[in-house]
Structure 1
Amino acid sequence: MKKVFAFVMAACMAATMFVGCAPKKGNEEASTVIKVGTSGPLTGGNAMYGNAVANGLKLAFEEINAKGGLKFEVNAQDDEGDTEKAVNAYKNLKDWGMQIMAGPTTSGAAAATAAECAADRVFMMTPSASDVSVIAAGDNVFQICFTDPNQGVGSAQYIAEHNLGTAIGVIYDSSNPYSAGIYEKFQEKAEELGLNVVAVEAFTEDNKADLTTQVTKCQSAGCDLVFLPIYAAEATQVLTYADKIGYTPKFFGCDGLDGILAVEGFDPALAEGVMLLTPFDATATDEKTQNFVKNYTDKFGIAPNQFAADAYDVAYVIAAACEAGKVTPEMSAEEVCTILMEQVLSMSFDGITGEGMQWSEDGAVSKEPKAVKIENGVYVGIE
């Protein structure tokens, strides 16, 4: 029988990159707290994602600690989105005494870390690494975000159902597992649905500093909708250049665009009308979401994006599974892993990124995406 966990999530937050959420009393620390590690790009062009994940985790665990019962401590490492640095970050976390991995943030880094977690039997749930290779690494690796195939399929379906474009262009990063994975499934579904894809323009890590050619080719092909399964930093280049040349198609993206309004140096007015699929709508009126948004914004001076929200939910999933499975701080990472696997596979979880979330044996989550549109500088839910 499914165990149903529903949470009323209060609002208080942790503020630093490395947060000890429980009191430290010398050597007692290891026996009084459960240690949760994460890694992501805390510096560099994609730092908005890694910091959002770290902050979402710390916020949730501070709330959980304040309620009494099990205590958790979070250690966030900077892996810069790099696979080698992610493995080094994982080793640092293991040396620290990590019992649970709540990350990494990006797909390439997470795939490398997942292999380590699978070998060491460390339970891993990533908030945001959506490539299927991540959960393929082992039966103890889970996602709370949508998989890339689901995002690609869902985007094609939404565009078709709402007749958003008659001539569609795609600009994607062929060197990035996240972007390439979404594009592949989008293209397959677009063909199945009869969408008219007239331009597919790729770029790579080596040439992503200038995307003018890709934008110009979409314009020349007459694209009235451009699909952007890319990260926000690259998307700002597309939008900026499109505005410069007077090109005004609809733009549609996935969760990687969440946070585009906060990209340094970007004029957020240029994102007006951009649509994206995401599990999180910051304008939702339910109490859990509004409490989360208010307190996150009050503390960090910026509204939370989907990465922060998914991380927040990951923390509550971990806490619920630990409580139900009677996890104690003295347990080894392998012992904790065995318990959390059993608990997560049998739970139904209500969070701020979805209700009735459940996980399959392959580590993928089942939940519904939300479509949002940027209007007057804020994300607004759309049908």
Structure 2
Amino acid sequence: MKKFLAFTMAAALTLSLAACGSSGGSSGSGSNADNSSSGGSTSGTAFKLGGTGPLTGDASIYGLAAQRGAQIAVEEINAEGGAIQFELKYEDDVNDPEKAVNAYNALKEWGMQISLGSVTTQPGIATSSYNFADSIFALTPSASSPDVISGKDNVYQMCFSDPNQGTASAKYISEQKLGEKVFIIWKSDDNYSTGIKDKFVAEAETLGLNVVSNATFTTDSKNDFTVQLTQAKQAGADLLFLPIYYDAASLILTQANAMGYEPKFFGVDGMDGILTQANFDTSLAEGVMLLTPFNADDEDEATQHFVKAYQDKYGETPIQFAADAYDCVYAYKQALETAGCTPDMSASELNEKLKATFPTITFTGLTGDGAGITWDATGAVSKSPKGMVIKDGAYVGMD
């Protein structure tokens, strides 16, 4: 369904294209200041595509991955020279809802016609309300809470939702008999974490999975997990379920090791990025299991094309946030073509076209299990996660 050109062709165009749509940043490798980018088409002949994400700060691994994945897709599509061309711009929201709204307003002033929403959940909940009020269609790569799309018929998700992750994790742990006593460490002031945890607990009860207890933390207490780990160890837990982001998870692994506590660890898509966490001993992640929609080691042609393009451009292996954003841009291309959209249409006109079109298409992308990605009219995506385990510093399929 996708047409892939050699990455060298897209890369050759980068220098001549990068200035369009930029407000002072430049797209390129390794800079956390990379807060704006361009697909290289002249305004008026391209769809203006905007998004917000944490390009700096603690969650910047996620934001930069999404921005860069989208950038590669835009460059490939524009290099094809077809009717669908994009001009891409990301604004830094530092994983903060208030800053995300400011970033959204900057994109709206820029002339954003279609949106990639926000990368992380709390900003995504905030900006999605504005997408709805302003009739600007959004397809977020990774803001996975149901609250992002609830009551907003023009806000869609590429990532599988938090409840689905919780349910799928409980089923996987139960079916694979990964732990006899499960302990959950979750973040109580985060919709992402609480949504996954709640569904996990409900499904575990249905399946007879033994959840011995759980412990919480907050943004203000995410540096010391001694109490939670001691509780888990005293409860005899042989598996810790971590529905949290990689930064806190890396500290949990480090502190458990210092205590001499060696349970199994099972995470969800927020765990992706732990292997590139600064100052983290990645050997401690050996054997960590997680559910994710993307595996950079898959041998299919589309995945390897993307991985090579990403490594060549940014010097690192892409995580699933990059793949989800890449898929978002190609899904937009398919939907815009299907709906017969043109870049001279207003945001509200495109909004109506895309609301009618997205529930009718089946998209084949990098993420999911290969069966095709579909959406219902609520914006919820239908695709399945993959079970992964970290071995020798890489993700390996568990299936």
Instruction: Note the C-alpha offset of 1:9.
Output: 3.8
**Equivalent residue, structure 2, for 1:371:** 387
**Equivalent residue, structure 2, for 1:359:** 375
| 1:172-191 alpha-carbon deviations (Å, 9 max, x no partner) | 10101101100000000011
SS in 1 for 2:58: coil
Aligned partners of 1:325 and 1:340 also within 8 Å: yes
Q: Which residue identity is paired with 1:351?
A: G
Q: How does 1:10-21 map to 2 (within 5 A)?
A: 10=5, 11=7, 12=10, 15-16=27-28, 17=34, 18-21=36-39
SS in 2 for 1:36: strand
Correspondence 1:45 to 2:45:
no
The structure 1 segments of at least 4 consecutive aligned residues displaced by more than 4 Å after TM superposition are none
Provide the rounded CA distance (Å) in 2 between the counterparts of 1:23 and 1:64.
Answer: 11
Provide the rounded CA distance (Å) in 2 between the counterparts of 1:8 and 1:287.
Answer: 12
Provide the rounded CA distance (Å) in 2 between the counterparts of 1:36 and 1:211.
Answer: 40
**Equivalent residue, structure 2, for 1:22:** 40
Aligned partners of 1:99 and 1:336 also within 8 Å: yes
Q: 1:7 aligns with which of 2, 10, 14?
A: 2
Q: Which residue identity is paired with 1:375?
A: K
| 1:234-283 alpha-carbon deviations (Å, 9 max, x no partner) | 00000001111111111000000001000001011000000000000111
Any unmatched runs of 5+ in structure 1? 1-5
Instruction: Note the C-alpha offset of 1:215.
Output: 1.3
**Equivalent residue, structure 2, for 1:281:** 295
Q: 1:143 aligns with which of 157, 182, 188?
A: 157
Q: 1:344 aligns with which of 346, 358, 379?
A: 358
SS in 2 for 1:235: helix
Tell me which of the two structures has the higher relative contact order, counting C-alpha pairs closer than 8 angstroms and 6 or more residues apart: 1
Correspondence 1:32 to 2:45:
yes
Instruction: Note the C-alpha offset of 1:150.
Output: 0.1
SS in 1 for 2:52: strand
**Equivalent residue, structure 2, for 1:168:** 182
Instruction: Give me the TM-score of the superposition, normalised by structure 1.
Output: 0.95
Aligned partners of 2:294 and 2:367 also within 8 Å: yes
Q: Which has the higher strand share?
A: 1
| 1:92-112 alpha-carbon deviations (Å, 9 max, x no partner) | 000000001112001111111
Q: Which residue identity is paired with 1:68?
A: G
**Equivalent residue, structure 1, for 2:21:** none
Aligned partners of 1:372 and 1:380 also within 8 Å: yes
Aligned partners of 1:103 and 1:128 also within 8 Å: no
Correspondence 1:134 to 2:148:
yes
Provide the rounded CA distance (Å) in 2 between the counterparts of 1:325 and 1:86.
Answer: 30
Provide the rounded CA distance (Å) in 2 between the counterparts of 1:83 and 1:139.
Answer: 21
| 1:50-91 alpha-carbon deviations (Å, 9 max, x no partner) | 110100111101100001122101111000111111111110
Correspondence 1:234 to 2:248:
yes
Q: 2:280 aligns with which of 254, 260, 266?
A: 266
| 1:315-362 alpha-carbon deviations (Å, 9 max, x no partner) | 000111112222111111001111112221110000000331110111
Correspondence 1:71 to 2:85:
yes
Instruction: Note the C-alpha offset of 1:23.
Output: 4.0
**Equivalent residue, structure 2, for 1:323:** 337
Provide the rounded CA distance (Å) in 2 between the counterparts of 1:23 and 1:337.
Answer: 21
Instruction: Give me the TM-score of the superposition, normalised by structure 2.
Output: 0.92
Q: How does 1:174-213 map to 2 (within 5 A)?
A: 174-213=188-227
Provide the rounded CA distance (Å) in 2 between the counterparts of 1:82 and 1:345.
Answer: 30
How many corresponding residue pairs?
373
